[in-house]
Structure formats: C-alpha cells, structure tokens
Amino acid sequence: VTESRESTKLAFLPPEDWAPGMRVHEIDLAPSGSHLTPFKSSRFEVEAGCSSPVDQHEVREIWFIAQGEGELTYDGVPMRIRAGEVCCFEPRKPHAVVNDGASTLVVFSVWWG
C-alpha cells in the first residue's frame, strides 16, 4: 500500500527561484519510469505583480494554466492567458509572462524534443 501511494503521487525536485516572485518546481518523473516518459515537466508559480524571465530554447513546450491570469508575450506578440487555457511554444521562440492579476499564477509546464 505504501509503495502504491508513493509511486502514484509524484514528488518535486528542490525548487529554483528563476526571478523575484517566480519559483519553479521540476517534477521528479523517476518513480514512474522516467525512461519511458517522453517529456519533462514542472510546476511554477509567479506571484501577483511579478514576471517570469524571457525563456527561449530548442525544446517545444506546453503551458497548462492552472490558476490565475497574466499577460504572455510570445515571439513579440502580447496576449492574455488565464486559468484553463493551454499554450504551445515552438522551438527558439521567446516567451515570458507578467502576472498583472490579483492572485498567484500557477502553471504546469511540459517540454520535449
């Protein structure tokens, strides 16, 4: 029973501060057979009034917006994002979000490739 519980809930690696008010928690996919998981994943939070730094990389990335809202700038184009929405970033396209809402922005990220 204990083993089943432990392997079902995935743990997080030690959090990393990417910017003031932005913290990233990478998910430890090892207990669920990381060699079979075709992506990596994290949860990150951006506090109200704070921003994520501009990020740009070769991997493709999807953001699942879990809570809150903000102003995403993707490849130079601003757009609103809010809880329930899903965004996809192509390789090498810069992306950053400003949390101009009243509550913490919470995002699950998945990246691969």
Q: Which residues contribute to the site for a second copy (CB under 8 A)?
A: 1, 4-5, 7-10, 27, 29, 31-33, 36-39, 41, 43, 60, 62, 64, 66-67, 72, 74-75, 77, 79, 81, 83-90, 106, 108, 110, 112-113
Q: Which residues pair with 86 in a beta bridge?
A: 64
Q: Which residues pair with 37 in a beta bridge?
A: none
Residues 109 and 95: their CA atoms lie apart, in Å, by 13
Least distance CB 12 / a second copy (angstroms): 8
Residues 105 and 113: their CA atoms lie apart, in Å, by 26
Nearer CB in complex with a second copy: 57/60: 60
